Amino acid sequence: MTERAYDMTIGLEVHVELLTGSKMFCRCSTRFGDPPNTNVCPVCTGLPGALPVPNHEAVKLGLRAALGLGARINLRSGFDRKNYFYPDLPKGYQITQYRTPLAEDGFIEISEPPKRIRIQRIHLEEDTGKSIHAGDDITTAEYTLLDFNRCGVPLIEIVSEPDMSSPEEARQYLERLQRVLRFAGVSDVKMEEGSMRVDCNISVKPRGTAVSGKPVEIKNLSSFRAVVRALSYEFQRQARLLEEGKTVVRETRHWDEAKESTYPLRTKGSSQDYRYLPEPDLPDLVLEESFVEEVKRDMPRLPAEIVAYYTEKLGLPEYDAEVLTLDPNLSRFFDDCVERGADPKTAANWIMGDIMGYMNRQGLTYEKIPLSTENLVEMLGLLKSGVISGKIAKDVLVKVIETGKTPSEIVKEEGLTQVSDEGELLSIIQEVISANPGPVQDVKNGKEKAIGFLVGQVMKATRGRANPAKVNIMLKEKILS
Ligand SMILES: [Zn+2]
């Protein structure tokens, strides 16, 4: 392949379901996973004469998203009808904000390479229903079922400028975007449940030419991995076409995860195909300044602010601060530990090491951190005061998680208290020295490594209940004096 001679330009459109209890223009529930067609009414199914009423909470969450993304709020925006026929759209149109969006000109900063990805617009709209194709394959399905529960669920669409130039930059943009929206409490942004969905626009042109290629849209990607793979595939496909002197058709394509390729869905016409018209049943959306101020005041802390706090006030390294702000539940857990008196760096090390390691192995999400902050802080206290050794602490942590008992209970029940009686420790050290004349001689000859072996023997004899640093010093004293 000669794809190195080509450049790609990527823009993303992200649909995000808002965390409201009810739909955008009616009172039906937005709960995910309810039996099909149980959360429907005349408004969201578009029966004649039914009138929409905008959801106050949805507007508020849309504003939060806009503020979190540094966008300019339009105090006056409006609703429009986007007309198209599709079975999961019972009204025959979707209410969206076409002429004037809720907000414009936001941005997301990515770090590798450092770059500002501009956000063109953020607008409110309603979701469509869901088509469930028998056998999950639209091309071979004998029938299709329709679930209108999702019809009318509030969405925001976040449209980026075509500022990304690799699948990796697209992934970073999406991760940062997801994190901001999660911290702002706008959405649960679960790609696997469809509350965050991504459409990609990608065009390819020979490097160094000014003419931009024709954009191809890849619709409805449902994981970051799919985004990266679909974009990589599409880049190669388009570069190959250009290489062969063929033209790229402007079209919408679908990513087939199983076949790892894209196939054409429909030829994309101009946006006029949708026959946008102002929504006659809704007046303009006019926001009071005071309402925007109120939303600003109630805005939860965002990752950038928390990272600054962790590094500047708590003295954590940048890396730790970034990891702890991967998720709001995780940073709340850490904050709570610090509030209960834990040393920030020690707590960070345990959370990022043993706890996140355990969670990864068990496939737990940050919504299910498997122990309480009380128990972690208590364990750190036992460690700090020398009651248990660092090695024992690791085992205690797992037992706390798996039994739900407190660290003190476990230490007491299993006799894990650190050997701190010098006499007891000294006699064990003496035994180890007598049993290992070879390594002892090595230590005498100045071989640093041999001391590690002897420390290990003492730790083994005490079943990990000794302090290795202390054992090290005592061993050296004993052997070298
Ligand atoms: Zn409804």
Q: What is the mean pLDDT of residues 303-315?
A: 95
How far away, in angstroms, is 51 Cα from ligand 1 center? 11
| Distance in Å, CA 35 to ligand 1 centroid | 15
Rounded to the nearest angstrom, the distance between the alpha carbon of 276 and the centre of ligand 1 is: 23
CA of 226 to the centre of ligand 1 (A): 32
Confidence of residue 102 (pLDDT cuts 50, 70, 90): very high
CA distances from 304 to 180, 325, 338 (A): 9, 9, 19
Q: What is the pLDDT of residues 35-69, one digit of tens each?
A: 999 999 999 999 999 999 999 999 999 999 999 99
Evaluate if pTM is beyond 0.75.
yes
Cα 192 to middle of ligand 1, angstroms: 24
Of the chain, the percentage scoring pLDDT greater than 70 comes to 97
State both tokens at 229: 């793979």
Give the DSSP letter string of 300-341.
PPPHHHHHHHHHHTS---HHHHHHHTSSHHHHHHHHHHHHTT
Q: What average pLDDT does range 148-154 have in this prediction?
A: 96
Of 293 and 214, the one with more pLDDT: 293
The pLDDT score that the predictor gives to residue 251 is 84
Q: How confident is the model at residue 266 (pLDDT cuts 50, 70, 90)?
A: low
- Mean per-residue pLDDT, 333-351: 95
Query: Ligand 1: distance of its center to the CA of 86 in Å?
Result: 19
> If you average pLDDT over residues 268-291, what whole number do you get?
84
Segment 236-246 shows an average pLDDT of 88
Mean pLDDT of all residues in 323-340: 95
Ligand 1 centroid to residue 50 C-alpha, Å = 10
Residue ranges matching CATH 1.10.10.410 in the chain: 422-480
Mean pLDDT of 123-142: 85
- Residue 125 CA, ligand 1 centroid: distance in Å: 15
How much distance in Å is there from the Cα of 273 to the middle of ligand 1?
27
pLDDT value of position 267: 58
> 22 CA distance to ligand 1 centroid (A)?
8
Give the other-Cβ count within 10 Å of 28's Cβ: 22
89 CA to middle of ligand 1, Å?
Answer: 13
Would you state the structure tokens that stand for residue 21, as one six-digit string?
């209890």
According to DSSP, the β-strands at 196-206 and 216-221 are: antiparallel
**Alpha carbon of 46 to ligand 1 centroid (Å):** 9
State pLDDT tens for residues 386-420: 778 888 888 889 999 999 889 888 888 877 777 76
**What is the whole-number distance in angstroms between the Cα of residue 148 and the centre of ligand 1?**
9
How close is the Cα of 278 to the center of ligand 1, in Å? 21
CA of 142 from ligand 1 middle (Å) equals: 29
Mean predicted confidence (pLDDT) in 369-373: 91
Letter for the amino acid at 441?
Q
For residue 87, the CA-to-ligand 1 centroid distance in Å is 17
- For the chain, the straight-line distance linking the first and the last C-alpha, in angstroms and rounded, comes to 69
Q: Please check the confidence at residue 475 and state whether its pLDDT lies above 80.
A: yes
Give me the sign of the Cα torsion angle 460, 465, 468, 471. negative
pLDDT at 4: 56
Q: How far is the CA of 277 from the centre of ligand 1 (A)?
A: 22
Nearest to 390 by CA among 449, 461, 311, 470: 470
- Over residues 434-463, the mean pLDDT reads 87
Measure 59 CA to ligand 1 centroid, in angstroms: 17
Better-predicted residue by pLDDT, 449 or 103: 103
The per-residue pLDDT for 165 is 93
Quote the ligand 1 centre to 143 CA distance (angstroms). 25
- CA–centroid distance, 150 to ligand 1, in Å, is 10
pLDDT grade for 274, boundaries at 50, 70 and 90: confident
Which spans in 165-223 are helix H?
167-183
- Tell me: pLDDT of 270 over 60: no
Yes or no: say if 66 and 177 are a contact pair by the CB < 8 Å rule.
no
Average per-residue pLDDT for the chain: 90
The residues, any chain, with a CB within 8 Å of residue 379's CB and separated by 6 or more, are 388, 393, 396, 397, 400, 407
Q: What pLDDT is stored for residue 420 in this prediction?
A: 67
Q: Taking residues 245-266, what's their average pLDDT?
A: 83
What letter would DSSP give residue 100?
A: S
Give me ligand 1 centre to Cα 52, in Å. 9
How far apart are the CA of 138 and the centre of ligand 1, in A?
A: 27
84: which residues sit within 8 A by CB, 6+ positions away? Answer: 92, 93, 94, 273, 274
For ligand 1, the distance from its centroid to the CA atom of residue 220, given in whole angstroms, is 24
pLDDT at 463 over 50: yes
Q: How far is the CA of 476 from the centre of ligand 1 (A)?
A: 77
Say how many Å lie between the CA of residue 41 and the centre of ligand 1.
4
Distance 17 CA to ligand 1 centre (A): 16
| Topology of the domain comprising 422-480 | Arc Repressor Mutant, subunit A (1.10.10)
CA of 359 to the centre of ligand 1 (A): 39
